[in-house]
Homo-oligomer: A and B are copies of this chain.
Amino acid sequence: MKKIRGFYIGRFQPYHYGHQSVIEHIAEEVDEIVIGIGSAQQSHSPENPYTAGERVLMITRALEHSVSLPFYVIPIEDIQRNALWVSHARAISPPFNVVYSSNPLVVRLFNEAGAEVISPEMFIRENYSGTEIRRRMLVGEDWMSLVPPVVADVINEIDGVGRLQDVSGSD
């Protein structure tokens, strides 16, 4: 029997429980998951503080403890041409059969390419967002409760809060 492989894309700045909730739901429907890390070339900016490699580490650490099916974590650099993005994502990822995304652009692009797309917005716990986590980091509020403990460990090891504060400073 052919394996069903699902594709899920995010920027994961940082990886949080909202992502984890989606992935756990996807895990019930597929045999394997490909997790694409978008804007992989970006780092050290207020919107994208962490490198692709740091994000690979966060995701892998978190999933080792939460899902049992095989997963692939793939950094995907921006291609700056929307019409080519689906081909770009397909070329750098192991083949996948179904796309999970609630991003309207990603949904549209895969739909125009004829792919099956499922929007998992219903799974997302409202309180979790990268924007909110980065805001809390900047002002010194609690953010660790929004991410798996192993992700907090990675962020702390790389001085991830200090970096975000520094790169958010005005010149």
Contact = CB atoms under 8 A, between A and B. Distances in A.
Interface of A: 40-45, 51-54, 56-57, 60, 64, 70, 72-75, 77, 79-84, 86-88, 90-95, 102-105, 107-109, 112, 163, 166-171
B83 A56 contact: no
A60 B94 CA distance: 10
A56 B57 CA distance: 17
Given A51-B92, A72-B60, A94-B57, A82 B44 contact: yes
Contact of A72 (B41, B54, B73, B79): B73
Contacts of A163: 108, 112
Contacts of A168: 104
Contacts of A54: 94-95
Contacts of A56: 72, 74, 93-94
8 tightest A-B CB contacts, nearest first: A104-B169, A83-B91, A44-B82, A108-B166, A87-B87, A57-B94, A53-B93, A51-B91
Contacts of A90: 53, 83
A170 B35 CA distance: 22
Contact of A87 (B84, B95, B167): B84
B167 A104 contact: yes
Contacts of A40: 92
A53 B167 contact: no
Nearest to A159: B112
Contacts of A91: 41, 43, 51-53, 81, 83-84
Contacts of A77: 77
A94 to B, nearest CB: 4
